[in-house]
């Protein structure tokens, strides 16, 4: 979805975000770095959940939005600051949308995304000739200490390549080739990825609504 609520209707944010400190409710260094870069031009001072020694909540939601909301709400409550959380993942059509909201879990406790990418490729190989269409989804939830939440969901479509290409990015980036692209997210420079990624799509919606 893009700037819509769960009923598919257009939605306007009802609260603006003032300049100042905001918690990035993530312990994923790659996500923290990307979100901080995206926030840079807007007078927002990001601080990560890790820097504040905030715990990582159990992701019990059944959707990207639900997981982003619970992470943002916990960070805002514990820090007393507005908090921005991201929940994102790779959805592979031929795998019924997996790994989806379980994208990080496929990497195991060691967060080994080389292993996770291999698992995706092995699953695809179980059905020779399976289509390699996939998409990334990113849900951003912005929460305040009083419990108010705004959320935004972005998407980018593409195909999967093998072997993985590129050492930039993180997660499944090295096996994801966006539609009409010639470089995987793992090969792109950060500025190029920011222009087309699922996270950038969600972030543009957030900027339009709350900044």
Distance CA 211, CA 207 (A): 5
Verify whether residue 201 is a known catalytic residue: no
Choosing from 5, 53, 86, 87, the catalytic residue is 87
Enumerate the active-site residues: 87
């Amino acid at each position: 979805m893009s700037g819509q609520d769960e009923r598919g209707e257009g939605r306007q944010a009802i609260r603006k975000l003032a300049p100042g400190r905001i918690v990035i409710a993530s312990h994923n260094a790659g996500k923290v770095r990307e979100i901080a870069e995206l926030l840079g031009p807007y007078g927002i001072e990001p601080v990560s959940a890790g820097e504040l020694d905030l715990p990582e909540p159990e992701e019990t939601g059944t959707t990207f939005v639900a997981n982003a909301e619970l992470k943002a709400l916990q960070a805002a409550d514990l820090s007393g600051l507005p908090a921005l959380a991201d929940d994102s993942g790779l959805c592979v059509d031929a795998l019924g949308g997996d790994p989806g909201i379980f994208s990080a879990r496929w990497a195991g406790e060691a967060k080994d995304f080389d292993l996770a990418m291999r698992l995706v490729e092995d699953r695809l190989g179980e059905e020779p000739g399976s289509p390699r269409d996939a998409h990334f989804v990113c849900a951003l939830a912005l929460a305040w200490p009083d419990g108010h939440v705004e959320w935004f969901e972005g998407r980018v479509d593409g195909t999967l390549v093998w072997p993985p290409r590129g050492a930039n990015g993180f997660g499944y980036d090295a096996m994801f080739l966006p539609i009409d692209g010639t470089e995987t997210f793992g090969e792109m420079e950060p500025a190029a990825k920011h222009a087309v990624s699922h996270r950038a799509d969600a972030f543009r919606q957030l900027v339009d609504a709350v900044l």
